[in-house]
Structure 1
């Protein structure tokens, strides 16, 4: 009984801070290419390949997972459209599941993909967080 109470207390205390072990994440990727080209997306981490998807203008692809115990989860995606191929870490636990990072914790991580940059949308409607392509 005592163990159950401790687990319930720990869970409710840490959920709002994004500190829950194995926290659930939902990544959503939206094709916002200004050229209105089809975007080909391929996402994977060390142990899982999410497959290859073609997204028309405005279309989206999503996947769910849980952050690992060491909080080292990374999902890298390649993005291809005519005459371009870019890569980007669409989820990094140190960036997207860390209350001390400049972009904060997201449980639903919504990414708009533009030619110039991938941007993580903000739930409060503020300016999105945009990043440089890795490649």
Structure 2
């Protein structure tokens, strides 16, 4: 009886693996729970210190102080529903801003303007956060979600 159950399991597993390896779902970019690495770089033109606080529903990354040119990074996996969002608040002398530094619908979606990134590198400038392109082309800049003067 154990032999029959193992045989049936293997019989079902092999076609599944063949389908998985021959479809686009095998791509690392679209696999469920795809690994992401976000890097945030302080590129404020004023060369001011940037205070960054990033979090999502279940993970608070704490407050980090970045000097001019300094960076911070974090890693995670996109959730099963592909709804992962990491939101960050940014502060520098006289200003505060917020921005969703990772949104699955923007950063893990091949149909989005910015495309998929597994290494998501963000340069933070006063006017806008910009996601750098791996090919060295023009970065994708986005408006702040919220911006205020102190």
Aligned length: 135
Distance 1:108 1:82, change over 3 A: same
Provide Cα deviations, 1:71-109, integer angstroms capped at 9, x if missing partner: 000000000000101000000000000001011000000
Using the alignment, how far apart are the partners of 1:8 and 1:38 within structure 2? 52
TM-score by length of 1: 0.93
Alignment correspondent of 1:86? 97
SS of residue matched to 2:120:
strand
Question: Is 2:16 the counterpart of 1:3?
Answer: no
Structure index of larger Rg: 2
Q: Report the alpha carbon displacement of residue 19 of structure 1 after superposing the two structures with TM.
A: 1.2
Alpha-carbon RMSD: 1.7
Distance 1:39 1:7, change over 3 A: farther
Gap runs ≥5 in structure 2: 1-9
Question: Is 2:66 the counterpart of 1:47?
Answer: no
TM-score by length of 2: 0.84
Aligned 8 A contact 1:30 1:60 in 2: yes
